[in-house]
Amino acid sequence: MKYKQIMIAGLGALLVLSGCKRSSDDTKITDAKGIEAGDYDIQLPFESSDSRVNHRKTSGSMNDVYEIGAGLMSRSKDHFSPDSYLVQEGQVLTYSKTKNLLASQSEDNSNGLNPKKDEAFDTGNGMVKNPAIVTDIYELDFIKNKEIKGLSVALVLQDTFSEDAKTEAGVPYQKKTKMDSKKLRLYGEEAGRKLISYLRKQPQVGDDMPIYIALFLANSSDETLPGSYFADAYFTSRSKEFSDIDEEWVMFPSSRAEELDSATLAQFKNISKSIEDFLPEDVGFIGQGRFNDKKLDELRITVSIQAKDHVECVAVIQRLNALLNDLSNQDMVLKVDVQSNRETIAVLNRKEGTSKITVTMLI
């Protein structure tokens, strides 16, 4: 009986402590600051977007999912300063609203952003049926005094469509048709303006709220690379023209990387060769470079080794840390993921405008 009383008292104390801890956490939830200077603070308490479940299903690879969100937040800073606004996941476009917008135009759904189902669509490179050109919509809300004071939206498009077809011999295959780039741009602009008109009718938005919209092309041809933004516009109370965005992701090494930045590619190859010579077994050394206005502003490198012990891992990381100083372009962000047997063992980062490399060991 005495043992039971002790247990009950202990449980009571745990419940009290748990209650105290929860109360303490609740007080902290009002404070969340950006990690880096110039980052947005997140509006708290955090509210998930009702339409978030769409993104993984409709935006293609996770490369695109991350790039769309990060790119939209970064580009929004030109219109909504992190010094003046908090940011939250979109609360205007609910799941049901987004689902209707991503559907085909019809008598029952005049807001649909995709072509009518009963009409063949001219891609500029052939006719296709029921193309899903607009595949997703991302929304960010910008907050002042706990009220939405601005919106950013990314309209995600694809330019390649598959249809069931048969050869002359009757053999079935998947016919792929790629939309002409000029037609895609015009379609994206029209869909963007239609989306702006729809948003203006929402009670949280109205006629005068500033809205930034960017058009993103998902990379359907190569899931190893993210897609890219290709046009944007900033709407206040009046209509605005869309401007070009010259953004492109490129594999390192590749002929395209050679064409855009031969100096960085040569340095990349030298580092790769040095790491390969450093180890007795095969090494994977692959990069993804993002170019804006034909200038490399971010390089991500994945190094894959097959280390047999801890010392070998440390040796590779130390050697790589020294070699990365040979990448002379300091106007880019550098991110290096070092993996051994498919597990990340270290991350090396270099910020734009500095030569200092930060190493985070995970073993």
pLDDT at 152: 98
CATH number of 53-245: 3.10.570.10
Q: How confident is the model at residue 23 (pLDDT cuts 50, 70, 90)?
A: very low
Bigger pLDDT: 65 or 346? 346
- The C-alpha atoms of residue 15 and residue 133 are separated, in whole angstroms, by 54
DSSP label of 208: T
pLDDT score recorded for residue 44: 86
Reply yes or no on domain 250-361 having CATH 3.30.300.190.
Answer: yes
Mean pLDDT for 349-360 is 95
How confident is the model over 198-213, as a mean pLDDT? 95
- The residue type found at 149 is K
* Helix/strand/coil percentages in the chain, nearest 5: 30, 30, 35
**Residue 220 banded pLDDT, cuts 50, 70, 90:** low
145-164 average pLDDT score: 94
Higher pLDDT, 298 or 163: 298
Using one digit for the tens of pLDDT, what is the confidence trace for 94-130? 999 999 999 999 999 999 999 998 889 999 999 999 9
In this structure, of 6-20, 126-140, 224-238, 314-328, the range with the lowest mean pLDDT score is 6-20
The pLDDT, as a whole number, for residue 221 is: 59
pLDDT value of residue 34 = 66
pTM: 0.86
pLDDT confidence bin for 219, thresholds 50/70/90? confident
DSSP state of 29: T
* Least confident span in 42-56, 173-187, 196-210: 42-56
* Rounded mean pLDDT, 328-340: 97
Q: Tell me which DSSP letter residue 340 carries.
A: E
Asked if residues 339 and 303 have their Cβ atoms less than 8 Å apart, the reply is: yes
Mapping DSSP to helix (H, G, I), strand (E, B) and coil, where does residue 332 land? coil
Q: Which comes out higher in pLDDT, residue 105 or 166? A: 105
Look at 47 and 198; give whichever has higher pLDDT.
198
Strand partners, 243: 232
Question: Which span out of 9-23, 26-40, 159-173 was modeled with the highest average pLDDT?
Answer: 159-173
pLDDT at residue 254, as a whole number = 96
Residue 61, pLDDT > 70, answer: no
Q: CB-based contacts of 342: which residues, under 8 Å, 6+ apart?
A: 304
Lowest average pLDDT, out of 125-129, 170-174, 284-288, goes to 170-174
| Structural contact between residues 270 and 320, judged by C-beta atoms closer than 8 angstroms | no
Q: What SS3 state is found at 264?
A: helix
Given a cut of 50, whether residue 27 has pLDDT beyond it is no
All structural domains of the chain with their residue ranges: 53-245, 250-361
Q: Is the pLDDT of residue 22 over 50?
A: no
Instruction: State pLDDT tens for residues 248-281.
Output: 999 999 999 999 999 999 999 999 999 999 988 8
Predicted confidence at residue 231, as pLDDT, reads 98
Residue 18 has pLDDT above 80, yes or no: no
